[in-house]
Amino acid sequence: MPATSQQEARAALEAAGQLDDSELDIAAVALQFARIDAPDADWRAAAAELSAIARRAVELAAADRDADGGQPEPRRRVLARLLHGEWGFHGDSETYEDMANANLIRVIERRRGLPVALGILWLHASEAVGWAAHGVNTPGHFLLALEHARGQIILDAFDEGRQLQPHQLREIARRGQGDQPLLPPAALAPMSKRDVLLRLQNNIKLRRLSARDFEGALVCTRDMLRLAPRHATLWREAGMIEHHLERIGAALQSLEKSLELEPRGEAAIQTRELLESLRNRLN
């Protein structure tokens, strides 16, 4: 029997899960997640759009001497022109909670999405031209950093690549984790490609949990684990959902795996307590 699109995508995620972070093609992996969540969507058309974005990014970069020479603001303008000017992508503030905003195929079709989905397009274009960029671990609102010789500039892909100043970063951090007089260093910590992709899918998982679609949330978590098989927190979350669904054997396996990967800390203590309770239910 021929493999379905979802089976092919899950196999691709498992292969990506064995790669080092530097080897990941972030947009290609996001496309595999999107194929799973929208199996009837035209993923090949989306892949062709990604290729066209990469080619055009190279053309624009080569034509801008300042950007090609390493200046961050010209680079920001080039990528903003490409993605928000020519391709017309923008943040979806009207139907923000729509799960299509976290599906890269739908984002490409609709030309709108969540901050992290648009950020993946920025990272894709940046990588195509060899410009260093990474996601920023800002709570509540995903941001980007374009690196340069003297540091980095922080951008908001949801707001057409606007550069953010320190007071604006503090406001975003305040909204994400409460009122703080100073911007915590962790709020500007660089994210790996794998963590950016997990943050994308976490939007889908949380929306399913909010809708009490626990089966769907578990499927999403399991697919995230294909990309990040050594992610202790994801194994713990899978176990918690399986516990809620009364799948005690599966919950035990997932929770034990999380402890194997992360045997110390407060989360590990809580996991051991839950494991003991679940084992007692089997006796």
DSSP strands (E only) in 62-161? 90-91, 112-113, 133-136, 143-148, 151-156
Q: Give the closest residue to 222 by CA, choosing from 3, 2, 9.
A: 9
Q: What is the pLDDT along the chain (283 residues), one digit of tens a residue?
A: 457 889 999 999 999 999 999 999 999 999 999 999 999 999 999 999 999 999 999 999 999 999 988 899 999 999 999 999 999 999 999 999 999 999 999 999 999 999 999 999 999 999 999 999 999 988 889 999 999 888 899 999 999 999 998 888 878 777 766 555 556 666 778 999 999 999 999 999 999 999 999 999 999 999 999 999 999 999 999 999 999 999 999 999 999 999 999 999 999 999 999 999 999 887 7
Task: Determine the Cα–Cα distance for residues 4 and 1; give it in Å rounded to an integer.
Answer: 9
Q: Give the closest residue to 146 by CA, choosing from 212, 76, 83, 88.
A: 76
Task: Determine the Cα–Cα distance for residues 60 and 79; give it in Å rounded to an integer.
Answer: 8
Place of tokens 């194929």: 35
Structure tokens at 40: 């009837």
Longest dimension (CA), the chain: 71
Q: What is the dihedral of CA 218, 219, 220, 221, to 10 degrees?
A: 50
Domains by residue range for the chain, with CATH: 5-191 (3.10.620), 194-282 (1.25.40.10)
How many CA atoms does the CB half-sphere of 188 hold within 13 Å? 18
Task: Determine the Cα–Cα distance for residues 233 and 18; give it in Å rounded to an integer.
Answer: 18
